[in-house]
Structure 1
Amino acid sequence: MSRVAYSAHKVGSMHHRLRFIFATATIFGATFLLVSINDISKMFNINYNPLILVADTVNNASNHSEDSSFTIRTEGCTIPGLQPLDDSIRRYVSYPSGMHTCRNATVALLDSNSTHIWLRQENKKYYNIINDHRFFCCYRSFYRPVSVEDISSPKNDDRVSYRNCIYFNEAIEVKDEFVNIICKYNKKRVYEQFFIFVIELNSEIAGKKPKSDSSYNVVIMGIDAVSRLNFHRTMPNTLKFLKDNGAVELLGYNKVGDNTFPNLIPMLLGIRDVDINITCAPRPLSTFDNCPFIWEWFRQAGYYTALGEDSGSLGTFNYLKVGFARKPTDYYIHTFINEAEHRVGNNKDFNSNLCMNDKYFYKVLLDYVERLMITLRSRRFFGFFWEVTMSHDYLNYPMKMDQDYEKFFRRIQNENILDDTFLFLVSDHGIRWGDIRHTKQGRLEERLPFVYVLVPQSFKQNYTLAFNNLKLNSHRLTSPFDLHSTLNDLVDLDRLKDITSRSKQLYWKDRSISLFLPIPTNRSCSLAGIEDHWCTCHQARKLSTNSIEAIEASAQLIRHLNLIVDSYKMCAKLKLSETIDIMEMQSNVNDITEGIIANWREFMVVVRSSPGGGIFEATLRQDPSGWSLSGTISRLNLYGDQSRCVSNSHLKLYCFCL
């Protein structure tokens, strides 16, 4: 996700080696690699079950006849089998023990529930509050104004208005959605915090419909920059809950773009991110208000809608983008998160403020989602939520979130929320930089994010064929485009009554196929709309970095980089410093015919450029007419302040400012 001011520090290269032992055990008739329970438990400080690390292999071996040496193996796509603790990546896995906790996390001065905010009397001593007559707190609610002074202003999505103070010194009832509290002792500020509440809107005015037996809530929860296997490694307790509750895991889910934005737009709009420029946001300062996001279809069907991220500055639609002039959904928390981030955000670690004073931002988002689901349980509800602060910059930081996510799922399960809710837990891509990215497995993991789908039991019974197709597709090549078609089906469940006849239609060449339809076995990356540079179905043959192919491909990559920055005089012209790696990409059977007819060869090359030492990876195609770039160019190391002179998120990857 290229939406951050990267530092030069290498991420994911913590060199604490885990101690592993090999043991042999027979489980479901198969032999697996086990990890020392004591070593892992001590290091991770969690209830860590080593069998979870090979759960994917266990499931494949016990439930499917496919060769476990492949992640998926179909006529159109073969993805090699990957292990969470492969020898090539073990040294990058360690518990992030050096990460700072939120300040004052155990001595917060205020607490809240769904209706009140109150003073924690037992913690007054930590703020030297000894005379109650000299202590008071100011309760200020705030909101997003309806009017927009300048629709083209990059800051219009950040607009905010505060109401007057209401003073209290013990407790106060809450009747507002967004609240800021400032507490003073002897006229000096001693504490400030933000609180978010769920206020149920007037459903009659909003045109919302009560939930019926034939409708389901739909909730998408994202965790940024976590590959499928890194999810296995870092969030084993959450993984166990999902598997124990029958979540469907998409093993062949392949990203379609470099960072977050080009992978979420296909999911939420069904088009490529570049198509936005000709459809609904034609200018650099265009807002996204005219874009037909999937939540619009749910809104028209009578659903409450919600959009929330745990960072305002790094938001999907706000980082170097204009965002929204109007509220895009009924519940939209950008105003709250943005204010909290700027006023009490702390514990900055690389690009993110991890904490909202004494509480992690990811936890703020989790608690909000839970309250929203409980409050709206009698109504139809669609929500899209995205976590970025903890997972974006570090390979192992998701370990810190594991127990909180598991507890979240258990709480909403105990509230019976999952009985009538489709819940998608997803990511956009794996970690895109750092030492692990230079390994073969790291390159594949970066292209293979995770998707888990928790399906209500009643859906499994009422739409058996659709559910069976979903399970079948867990071993097929899929992409964010397919999630969009799946969400469209959930807007109108009547579409699922016609699955049998729809399955007979000629949809197999479609870029976007609902997961409730059987995805054909001959589906390849080209049919799925996945550019060769991101395709994990291709096999690779390593070449010498001194070969003619390496010399020519490297020169072409540098030429393409300079074409990108050529119009920006503040950016240096780049030169080739080193060819780090080159592989010839060999397509699957379905694509070979096309290659023979076109007489082309494809190479994935990694180079280091100067000035700046940028490391870039690209796929280049050679045919009789010359060389061409296939897909976009990836940057594998962080650029720090090298690109300070440009504000374009794409250009920041390549520009070395003079």
Structure 2
Amino acid sequence: MPSRRCSTLEKTMSIMIVGIDSISRQNMVRTMPKTVDYLGQNGWYDLKGYNKMDDNTFPNLVAILAGMTYKQIVNLCFPSNKTPMDNCPLIWKNFSDSGYITAYAEDEPTIGTFNYHKRGFVQSPTDYYLRPFMLAAEKSVKTKLHSGLIICLGPMKSADHILDYSLNFATAFSQYPTFSLYWMNGFSHNDLNTPTTMDNDMVTYLKRLSNSGALNTTMVILLSDHGMRFGKIRETYIGYLEERLPFIYFSLPEWFKTAYPSKVDNLVKNAHRLTSPFDVHMTLQDVLGVKKTAEGCPKCQSLFEEVPWNRSCLDAGITEHWCTCAEYKTLSTESSPVRVIAKFVVDQINDIAANYSRFLQNGTSCSKLRAKRVLSMRSKVFSKSSGYQEYVILVQTVPGDALFEATISHNYTFKIVDTVSRINSYSKQSTCMNDAYAKKYCYCLKDSPSRTTPRVTNTTDS
């Protein structure tokens, strides 16, 4: 064992984060009821008000691992998709500096959190890193696809490779403090119902984890990054909420509950209050004994401290576009103001595509989008008392029949709040765009020799 390692002290708690992509709290109840029952019956803490802070996996994990927003970490350590992320201040480095042995494993390496249209890491980011094995295995053994993702790798489910690795790591280093992160995409990312196939497996895994003794020394966080972000359910108001409300559970060692009853009491209280990934980051800092404000959320705090009952989304680092605390009323989609708002949103989308034209493949362009129809329109109740009106609009565009959802504020002028969501699949429409953020706004065209117009036109005619 390297000399920098230290054996587990009596009050040192290991950390294990197990993530399953794209499962809302409600969809977990629907598709993995046995797992939910097991967690409830075995003392896991369920945070019912956990709200994501951004669109997809990367920013929500960065909030946990670095306490930063997407823009903050991009500006700090990887200004382009070709820049490695080795210098990013991810919290596993802090745990490593404190003597913890670290591990990171994720299935689907082509769409992995740090590698989807990103450079990833040049050096191993943790002491134990499964990516090289997963890449080699996908080339060397038989695979089975479901909804475009590898669900079986050799004779095992891809997720089982990750779960077994987590158990082996926890067992091998049971006498040492560890920090580990495991992430699974294959059985949940692209299909709302496929998590059903892992329900029994997850219960078996949780029992094995308990029998291994790991729960005696380790705080385990079982969570998702967000709910399903596309598909028919996402066109409903329930789908709107579920996308923003992933599940999260905590397991704490018995010695920790005995030594710190007030911390546990606060976690129980926080189960019914608004929380965010930034709070998870602050909790990890708390375990390390560090008190450093999360750059992306100055008011966020450890979940071992009581969260205010009247906390706002802004206090939790959640922008209005992702906030689920507001009440809305449905409006007619046929009025003139609705058409004006739809045109404004589509113009903004075309502007975004134009600003990212440098990431297009040679000989391609993004089509100028036009509004086809407005599927829904809601106004935020009581927003006028804040000095502005706020709307949520769902608009379909052509070509491509894309579905875009935007939160709009109006105080003399319209303004996009945070970002515009794409809520249907676009992978086959945006292959020419090499920027992960801009892909959802681009419908690819091949340039013809006679084309004289620029890649994206910024005109505002409908």
Q: Give TM-score, length-normalised by structure 1.
A: 0.64
Q: Map 1:20-59 onto structure 2 (within 5 A).
A: none
Q: Does 1:253 align with 2:27?
A: no
Tell me the residue number matched to 2:458: none
Aligned with residue 428 of structure 2, among 638, 641, 644: 641
Secondary structure of the corresponding residue to residue 261 of structure 1:
helix
Q: Map 1:577-592 onto structure 2 (within 5 A).
A: 577-586=372-381
Tell me the residue number matched to 2:351: 563
Q: Does 1:530 align with 2:318?
A: yes
Tell me the residue number matched to 1:130: none
Q: Provide the C-alpha distance between the structure 1 equivalents of 2:404 and 2:394, rounded to a whole number of angstroms.
A: 6
Q: Map 1:565-644 onto structure 2 (within 5 A).
A: 565-567=353-355, 568=357, 570-586=365-381, 596=385, 599-624=387-412, 626-644=413-431
The amino acid of 1:291's aligned partner reads C
Q: Provide the C-alpha distance between the structure 1 equivalents of 2:350 and 2:142, rounded to a whole number of angstroms.
A: 38
Tell me the residue number matched to 1:100: none
Q: Provide the C-alpha distance between the structure 1 equivalents of 2:13 and 2:142, rounded to a whole number of angstroms.
A: 36
Q: CA deviation at 1:548?
A: 3.0
Structure 2: runs of 5+ lacking an equivalent:
358-363, 446-462
Whether the aligned pair in 2 keeps the contact of 1:607 and 1:617 (CA below 8 Å) is: yes
The amino acid of 2:215's aligned partner reads L
Tell me the residue number matched to 1:548: 336
Q: CA deviation at 1:409?
A: 1.1
Q: Does 1:331 align with 2:119?
A: no
Tell me the residue number matched to 1:419: 216
Tell me the residue number matched to 2:441: 654
The amino acid of 1:223's aligned partner reads I
Tell me the residue number matched to 1:380: 177
Q: Provide the C-alpha distance between the structure 1 equivalents of 2:185 and 2:370, rounded to a whole number of angstroms.
A: 34
Whether the aligned pair in 2 keeps the contact of 1:433 and 1:636 (CA below 8 Å) is: yes
Deviations 1:505-558 (A, max 9, x none): 9xxx94321101111122111222211111100111100001233112111110
Whether the aligned pair in 2 keeps the contact of 1:553 and 1:603 (CA below 8 Å) is: no
Q: Provide the C-alpha distance between the structure 2 equivalents of 1:266 and 1:311, rounded to a whole number of angstroms.
A: 22
Q: Does 1:286 align with 2:75?
A: no
Deviations 1:212-233 (A, max 9, x none): 2111111000000000011111
Tell me the residue number matched to 1:118: none
Whether the aligned pair in 1 keeps the contact of 2:81 and 2:435 (CA below 8 Å) is: no
Whether the aligned pair in 2 keeps the contact of 1:226 and 1:427 (CA below 8 Å) is: yes
Q: 1:295 to 1:345 in 2, by over 3 A?
A: farther
The amino acid of 1:354's aligned partner reads I
Q: CA deviation at 1:388?
A: 0.4
Tell me the residue number matched to 1:117: none
Aligned residues: 435
Q: Provide the C-alpha distance between the structure 2 equivalents of 1:585 and 1:457, rounded to a whole number of angstroms.
A: 44
Q: Does 1:354 align with 2:151?
A: yes
Larger radius of gyration: 1
Q: Provide the C-alpha distance between the structure 1 equivalents of 2:395 and 2:16, rounded to a whole number of angstroms.
A: 41
Q: Provide the C-alpha distance between the structure 2 equivalents of 1:340 and 1:646, rounded to a whole number of angstroms.
A: 28
Q: Provide the C-alpha distance between the structure 2 equivalents of 1:438 and 1:352, rounded to a whole number of angstroms.
A: 23
Q: Does 1:447 align with 2:244?
A: yes
Whether the aligned pair in 2 keeps the contact of 1:267 and 1:484 (CA below 8 Å) is: yes
Identical aligned residues as a percent: 38
Q: Does 1:435 align with 2:222?
A: no
The amino acid of 1:417's aligned partner reads A
Q: Provide the C-alpha distance between the structure 2 equivalents of 1:536 and 1:511, rounded to a whole number of angstroms.
A: 19
Secondary structure of the corresponding residue to residue 258 of structure 1:
coil
Q: Map 1:141-160 onto structure 2 (within 5 A).
A: none
Q: Provide the C-alpha distance between the structure 1 equivalents of 2:301 and 2:45, rounded to a whole number of angstroms.
A: 17
Whether the aligned pair in 1 keeps the contact of 2:81 and 2:117 (CA below 8 Å) is: no
Q: CA deviation at 1:644?
A: 1.4
Q: Provide the C-alpha distance between the structure 1 equivalents of 2:32 and 2:380, rounded to a whole number of angstroms.
A: 33
Q: Provide the C-alpha distance between the structure 2 equivalents of 1:284 and 1:639, rounded to a whole number of angstroms.
A: 20
Q: Does 1:203 align with 2:8?
A: no
Aligned with residue 68 of structure 2, among 249, 271, 278: 271
Q: Provide the C-alpha distance between the structure 2 equivalents of 1:414 and 1:275, rounded to a whole number of angstroms.
A: 41
Secondary structure of the corresponding residue to residue 122 of structure 2:
coil
Q: Does 1:487 align with 2:284?
A: yes
Q: Provide the C-alpha distance between the structure 2 equivalents of 1:345 and 1:523, rounded to a whole number of angstroms.
A: 50
The amino acid of 1:387's aligned partner reads M
Q: Provide the C-alpha distance between the structure 2 equivalents of 1:210 and 1:600, rounded to a whole number of angstroms.
A: 57
Ranges of 4+ aligned residues in structure 1 off by more than 6 Å: none
Q: Provide the C-alpha distance between the structure 2 equivalents of 1:347 and 1:543, rounded to a whole number of angstroms.
A: 45
Tell me the residue number matched to 1:55: none
Deviations 1:111-166 (A, max 9, x none): xxxxxxxxxxxxxxxxxxxxxxxxxxxxxxxxxxxxxxxxxxxxxxxxxxxxxxxx
Whether the aligned pair in 2 keeps the contact of 1:565 and 1:654 (CA below 8 Å) is: yes
Q: CA deviation at 1:415?
A: 2.2
Tell me the residue number matched to 2:9: 212
Whether the aligned pair in 2 keeps the contact of 1:203 and 1:209 (CA below 8 Å) is: no
Aligned with residue 391 of structure 1, among 188, 193, 216: 188
Whether the aligned pair in 2 keeps the contact of 1:312 and 1:341 (CA below 8 Å) is: no
Q: Provide the C-alpha distance between the structure 1 equivalents of 2:254 and 2:261, rounded to a whole number of angstroms.
A: 10
Secondary structure of the corresponding residue to residue 341 of structure 2:
helix
Secondary structure of the corresponding residue to residue 313 of structure 1:
helix
Whether the aligned pair in 2 keeps the contact of 1:345 and 1:353 (CA below 8 Å) is: no
Aligned with residue 310 of structure 1, among 107, 111, 120: 107
Whether the aligned pair in 2 keeps the contact of 1:311 and 1:341 (CA below 8 Å) is: no
Q: CA deviation at 1:314?
A: 1.2
Q: Map 1:160-199 onto structure 2 (within 5 A).
A: none
Tell me the residue number matched to 1:121: none
Q: Provide the C-alpha distance between the structure 2 equivalents of 1:429 and 1:355, rounded to a whole number of angstroms.
A: 23
Q: CA deviation at 1:637?
A: 1.1
Q: Provide the C-alpha distance between the structure 2 equivalents of 1:238 and 1:285, rounded to a whole number of angstroms.
A: 40
Q: CA deviation at 1:345?
A: 5.0
Tell me the residue number matched to 2:25: 228
Aligned with residue 38 of structure 2, among 241, 257, 261: 241
Q: Provide the C-alpha distance between the structure 2 equivalents of 1:474 and 1:617, rounded to a whole number of angstroms.
A: 29
The amino acid of 1:579's aligned partner reads V
Q: CA deviation at 1:458?
A: 1.0
Q: Provide the C-alpha distance between the structure 2 equivalents of 1:267 and 1:581, rounded to a whole number of angstroms.
A: 33
Q: Does 1:400 align with 2:197?
A: yes
